[in-house]
């Protein structure tokens, strides 16, 4: 009996190829969509996030507005300006300590922080990202017991023609 005449062998081979193809597809999807961060204490982390949301709601009710601006096109190895405006009822908060933390989900090796300088109601910092790819930027504003923060996810490119982050645009560029 030849291979083509055995429907059982053909169907088993087809099933095997379908399973292998589905497994490869799931692996590729998992690698593209998961940033690799693992949280050891998921419940406590959720509780802390709930407290952060409650604090943010309280600050919003008090009239605090934090506006965090990043460059339109984020380029790596190019100095660019990041700015933060923090105000309550259109009155800018002065003499605050404002720090921008640049983090990568792939490891702490190239993570860094930079203090932002106050100039004419805006806190600014010139930053040159050392690597292209995905970055999380967290801005922390503090003055005495007051604390406020914001975060943005961005993708650093080589130039305007770089398509390296296109697959992540929906997740990492929206929300500017």
Same structural domain, 73 and 119: yes
pLDDT of residue 101: 95
pLDDT tens readout for residues 84-113? 999 999 899 999 999 999 998 777 788 999
Query: Cα–Cα distance between 26 and 116 in angstroms, integer?
Result: 42
Instruction: Assess whether 74 and 114 both reside in one domain.
Output: yes
Q: Based on the domain organization, do 108 and 154 belong to the same domain?
A: yes
Report the distance separating Cα 43 and Cα 49, nearest Å: 10
Q: What is the CA radius of gyration of the chain?
A: 23
Handedness of CA 25, 31, 34, 38 (dihedral sign): positive
Same domain, 134 and 79: yes
Specify whether 26 is located in the same domain as 73: no
Tokens for 85, please give them: 């405006």
Asked if residue 19 and residue 47 are part of one domain, the reply reads no
pLDDT at 63: 92
116 and 56 inside one domain = yes
- Domains identified in the chain, total number: 2
Are 81 and 156 members of one domain?
Answer: yes
State the pLDDT at residue 172.
Answer: 43
Q: Rounded to whole angstroms, how far apart are CA atoms 68 and 84?
A: 5
User: Which of these, 173, 118, 175, lies nearest to 141 by C-alpha position?
Assistant: 118
Tell me which residues of the chain have a pLDDT lower than 50: 168-176
Q: In the structure encoding, which two tokens stand for residue 97, read together?
A: 């300590």
């Amino acid at each position: 009996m030849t291979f083509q005449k055995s429907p059982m062998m053909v169907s088993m081979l087809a099933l095997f190829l379908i399973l292998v193809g589905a497994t490869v597809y799931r692996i590729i999807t998992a690698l593209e969509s998961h940033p690799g961060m693992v949280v050891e204490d998921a419940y406590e982390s959720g509780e802390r996030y709930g407290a952060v949301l409650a604090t943010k709601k309280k600050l919003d009710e008090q009239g605090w507005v934090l506006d965090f601006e990043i460059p339109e096109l984020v380029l790596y190895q190019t100095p660019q300006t990041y700015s933060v405006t923090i105000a309550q009822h259109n009155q800018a908060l002065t003499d605050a300590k404002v720090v921008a933390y640049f983090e990568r989900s792939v490891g702490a090796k190239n993570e860094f922080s930079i203090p932002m300088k106050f100039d004419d109601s805006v806190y600014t910092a010139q930053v040159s990202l050392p690597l292209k790819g995905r970055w999380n930027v967290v801005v922390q504003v503090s003055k005495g017991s007051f604390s406020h923060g914001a975060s943005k996810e961005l993708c650093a490119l080589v130039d305007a023609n770089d398509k390296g982050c296109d697959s992540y645009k929906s997740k990492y560029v929206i929300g500017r």
